[in-house]
Structure 1
Amino acid sequence: MILDLFFPNRCIECSRIIDSDLLVCSLCFEQIHFTHFDYSGDNIIREKCKLLFPIENTYALMRFEQDSLSQKIIHELKYKSRENAGKTLAEWTKERLNFNEEKPDILVSVPLHPKKLKERGYNQLHVFTETLSTFYHIPFDHELIQRNHYSKAQALKDKQHRLETTNPFSLSKSISGKHILLIDDVFTTGSTVSSIAWEILNAGDNKVSVLVMAVDV
């Protein structure tokens, strides 16, 4: 395409010209710290989640380290309008994640508040989730969970707003007897997935697993 001639796609790490559907060049790809987690085994996310809610299985694609390439990739997706980067991350996930006998029933991504969605123009998790849905033949549901409050920087929140955000999520429909794979971009403290997990668990005889693009260790 003519645009590719004048504005070629470049590796986000070293700026080499690369194919339009890539994020990084082959050399920089080797710098990505993939976790190699076992989905049904023990890992740092599973240990943290076990302290917060009943968890089935957990997986993270990459390690999210300060100033690392994985951090740059997530920021490209989340803040620099590289929505289609979610497809590349899903392809990397498919090459490494085997559900074995623990295949979930539904893929559910952490939602944005409608105001935040309007500001950003897209949910950075949707393309990732939809691509995984196609790969693994698992349905997704972007409407199951809704975020109830618009999130501001903590320093800007008054006391009442902080109280409101203690219950930031709710279910939009009833669900029971399902194994939900909850998808987020970065796992840090686990507070977000925990809030959503309890909504799902309290709704009926459900199970929750967690998949994230990266874990902050």
Structure 2
Amino acid sequence: MILDILFPNRCIQCNTIIDPELLVCGLCFSQIHFTHYNYFENNPVKEKCSLFFPVENAFSLIQFEEESLSRQIIHELKYRSRERIGKILAEWMIDRLDFRDDHPDLLVTVPLHPKKLRERGYNQLHLFTETLSEFYDIPFDHELVKRNHYSKAQALKDKKHRLKTTNTFSVTQPVSGKHILLIDDVFTTGNTVSSVAWEILNAGDNKVSVLVMAVDI
């Protein structure tokens, strides 16, 4: 309580004091560009994924535009040690994503390399995924896929180097006959998601759908 008084929670955009459970104030919330995609229909994420691998369904929560509040939210989550933002994004996702009667069998996160995980202290996808798992009653597996090579963040790479992800990932255990929802933070070139998806598809008779926090296409 004393800490809340001395260090109140503030909107990350305008610095207004807000409820401890919120991320932005009501006025700034209206500045977030949600995608309004339909998970079961063609949308920019699904269309881009389909160029690289057979994708069942795809969805993104927000647009990842230059100099936008959406981009700031993702950067706060990934680079400012604000892991709790993952739970808030999951709650926003729950308000907008309906699996109907076609729930995936398993939620799988794109992994960090162990060195990157030690540096950051957390995987920005884990709390997000675990919140979705609890609400939708779908199991998750953070260990199904591993990252084989250490590399700097995608956001810090130029476009040429973002395309180099050959043999970056591998599946750690047998998996077959599953509809897997692959979860990542930002969809840019689609190369990372594609690399993980092919590992899952090649592991057995699996189907892959994609869920990302933000899309930059």
Please report the TM-score for the alignment, with normalisation by the length of structure 1: 0.94
Measured against aligned partners, the alpha-carbon deviations of 1:128-161 in whole angstroms (never above 9, x if no partner) come to: 00000001000000010000000137999xxxxx
State the shift of 1:101 in Å.
3.0
Query: Partners of 1:108 and 1:165 in 2: how far apart?
Result: 18
Structure 2 counterpart of 1:210: 210
Q: TM-score, normalised by structure 2?
A: 0.94
Identity over the aligned pairs, expressed in percent?
A: 71
Amino acid of the structure 1 residue aligned with 2:89? L
SS in 1 for 2:96: coil
Alpha-carbon offset, residue 84 of structure 1: 0.6
Measured after TM superposition, the shift of residue 198 of structure 1 is: 0.4
- The amino acid across from 1:176 in the alignment is S
Contact 2:61-2:93 at 8 Å conserved across structures: yes
Greater mean deviation of Cα atoms: 196-205 or 95-104: 95-104
Do structure 1's residue 133 and structure 2's residue 133 form an aligned pair?
Answer: yes
User: Displaced runs of 4+ in structure 1, greater than 6 A?
Assistant: 153-156
Q: Is the 8 A contact 2:165 2:191 kept in 1?
A: no
Instruction: Indicate the RMSD between aligned Cα atoms, in angstroms.
Output: 1.9
Local SS of the residue matching 2:183: strand
Tell me which residue corresponds to 2:2.
Answer: 2
Verify the 8 A CA contact 1:89 1:128 in the aligned structure 2: yes
Aligned to 2:103: 103
User: Could you tell me whether the CA contact under 8 Å between 1:40 and 1:102 is conserved in 2?
Assistant: no
Residue-by-residue CA offset, 1:25-51 (whole Å, 9 max, x unaligned): 011101110001100100001111111
1:11 aligns with 2:11: yes
- The equivalences for 1:99-178 within 5 A come to 99-152=99-152, 165-178=165-178
Secondary structure (helix, strand or coil) at the match of 2:141 reads coil
Aligned pair count reads 213
Find the counterpart in structure 2 of residue 159 from structure 1. Answer: none
Q: CA deviation at 1:20?
A: 1.2
* Residue segments in structure 2 that go unaligned for 5+ positions in a row: none
Note the residue ranges of structure 1 that are not aligned, 5 or more in a row.
157-161
> Which string of whole-angstrom CA distances, capped at 9 and with x for unpartnered residues, describes residues 109-140 of structure 1?
11000000000000000000000000100000
How far apart in 1 are the matches of 2:175 and 2:79?
32
Match of 2:152, SS state, is coil
Residue 21 of structure 1: how far off its partner (Å): 1.4
